[in-house]
């Protein structure tokens, strides 16, 4: 069995306790407008083109079966229309400048477990472990559960960051091997949730209730997006969902633009390109609101 993995990040400290390895799964059923990892949304591996590395030498152009690389006045023009379905992506092998690469690659359970276990001493000394994120880990449920089992067999603390869009049976199967769920809530109003993520909110809320009822260890993660999720009505609705599920811990993730270049580099459009990052002062106001309700709230 293999899983498509976008990235493995070592020595992370914000996604669960202690020092952690983050494993980003490729593919997500949601399309959040503010996504800072847009290259994690599609399920297959994707071409990434980094313009500032490109020498405009056109060495790659003759190898593209679709004529997707051309030049105009010495400036490279690249169309991504055929890249997603182009199986072999020969342009990558013919670029000496490292301007083109593949986002996402297949790993076996054994191979990925070896990568995670390489940091086992750091986990033991810091109370850390592995966090499966994405994308949406449950969108590759069989691979996720196999990884959870294999990490648990080595005594590694396991966390899953999930958007909550998961099959009930998959949640049930994952639970015995999952020490912590980092459960994302974004918008509670059904119409707003559908507008900004492309999916209904109710199945997500139902899954949160299910995990709570079954006694899972849950921390809520909430992206603070100016004017979209950071409205008083949404903050109140998030708090109400937490209170009805008797959840105490929420982590706020202020909107930033660090991932914005990745939209263009993968031929994707960014509907929030003009949106400014969330100011620390406004994030602090949100933190005070949740803390004032007796919730354990931190900003990362
Ligand atoms: S990925 Fe395929 S279609 Fe896209 S530029 Fe490279 S060779 Fe052409
Ligand atoms: S081979 Fe690399 S450096 Fe040359 S034009 Fe193609 S992407 Fe740019």
Do 76 and 135 fall into the same domain? Answer: no
Residues 58 and 169 in one domain: no
Residues 11, 97, single domain; the answer is no
Q: Considering 75, 103, 131, which residue would you say is the last residue of a domain?
A: 103
Domain containing 263: what range? Answer: 2-43+104-299
Residues 257 and 136 grouped into a single domain: yes
CATH code for position 204: 3.20.20.70
119-162 pLDDT, tens digit each? 999 999 999 999 999 999 999 999 999 999 999 999 999 999 99
Q: How far is the CA of 272 from the centre of ligand 1 (A)?
A: 27
Task: List the one residue out of 128, 105, 103, 101 whose CA is nearest residue 22.
Answer: 128
Closest ligand 2 atom number to CA of residue 94: 1
Residue 74: give its domain's CATH number.
3.30.70.20
On whether both 242 and 227 belong to a single domain, the answer is: yes
Domain tally for the chain? 2
199-244, pLDDT tens digit by residue? Answer: 999 999 999 999 999 999 999 999 999 999 999 999 999 999 999 9
Please give the structure tokens belonging to residue 113: 């477990």
Q: Work out which ligand 1 atom sits closest to the CA atom of 69.
A: 5
Q: Is the pLDDT of residue 58 over 90?
A: yes
| Domain edge (last residue) among 78, 103, 128 | 103
Residue 164 has a CB neighbour count (10 Å cut-off) of 23
| CA proximity to 36, closest of 297, 254, 298 | 254
How many angstroms does the Cα of residue 59 sit away from the middle of ligand 1?
Answer: 13
Residue 260 and residue 196 share a domain: yes
Residues 50 and 138 reside in one and the same domain: no
Q: Is the same domain home to 146 and 243?
A: yes
Residues 19 and 141 in one domain: yes
Residues of the chain above pLDDT 90, percent: 97
Q: Do residues 42 and 27 make contact, with C-beta atoms less than 8 angstroms apart?
A: yes
99 and 211 share one domain:
no
Q: Band the pLDDT of 73: cuts 50, 70, 90.
A: confident
Question: Are residues 137 and 88 both part of a single domain?
Answer: no
The mean of the pLDDT values for the chain is 96
In DSSP terms, 290 is beta-bridged to none
> CA 144 to CA 130: how far, in whole Å?
12
Q: Is-above-0.85 flag for pTM?
A: yes
- If you measure from the C-alpha of residue 62 to the centroid of ligand 1, how many angstroms do you get, rounded to a whole number? 10
């Amino acid at each position: 069995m293999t899983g498509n993995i976008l990235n493995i990040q070592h020595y992370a400290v914000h996604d669960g306790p202690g020092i952690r390895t983050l494993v980003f799964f490729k593919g997500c059923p949601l399309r959040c407008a503010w996504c800072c990892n847009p290259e994690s949304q599609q399920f297959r591996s994707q071409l990434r083109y980094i313009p500032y590395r490109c020498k405009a030498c056109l060495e790659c152009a003759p190898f593209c079966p679709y004529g997707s690389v051309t030049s105009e006045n010495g400036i490279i023009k690249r169309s991504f229309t055929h890249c997603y379905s182009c199986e072999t992506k020969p342009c990558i092998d013919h670029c000496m400048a490292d301007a083109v690469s593949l986002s996402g690659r297949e790993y076996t359970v054994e191979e990925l477990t070896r990568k995670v276990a390489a940091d086992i001493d750091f986990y033991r000394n810091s109370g850390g472990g592995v966090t499966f994120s994405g994308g949406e880990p449950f969108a590759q449920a069989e691979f996720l559960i196999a990884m959870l089992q294999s990490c648990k067999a080595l005594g590694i603390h396991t966390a899953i960051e999930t958007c909550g869009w998961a099959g009930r049976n998959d949640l049930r199967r994952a639970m015995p091997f999952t020490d912590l769920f980092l459960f994302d809530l974004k918008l509670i109003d059904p119409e707003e949730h559908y507008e900004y993520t492309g999916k209904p909110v109710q199945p997500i809320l139902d899954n949160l209730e299910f995990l709570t009822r079954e006694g899972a260890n849950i921390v809520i993660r909430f992206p603070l997006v100016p004017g979209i999720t950071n409205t008083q009505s949404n903050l109140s609705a998030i708090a109400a969902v937490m209170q009805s599920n008797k959840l105490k811990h929420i982590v706020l993730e202020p909107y930033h633009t660090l991932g914005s270049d990745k939209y263009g580099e993968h031929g994707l459009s960014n509907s929030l390109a003009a949106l400014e990052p969330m100011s620390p002062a406004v994030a602090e106001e949100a933190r005070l609101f949740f803390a004032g309700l007796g919730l354990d709230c931190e900003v990362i």
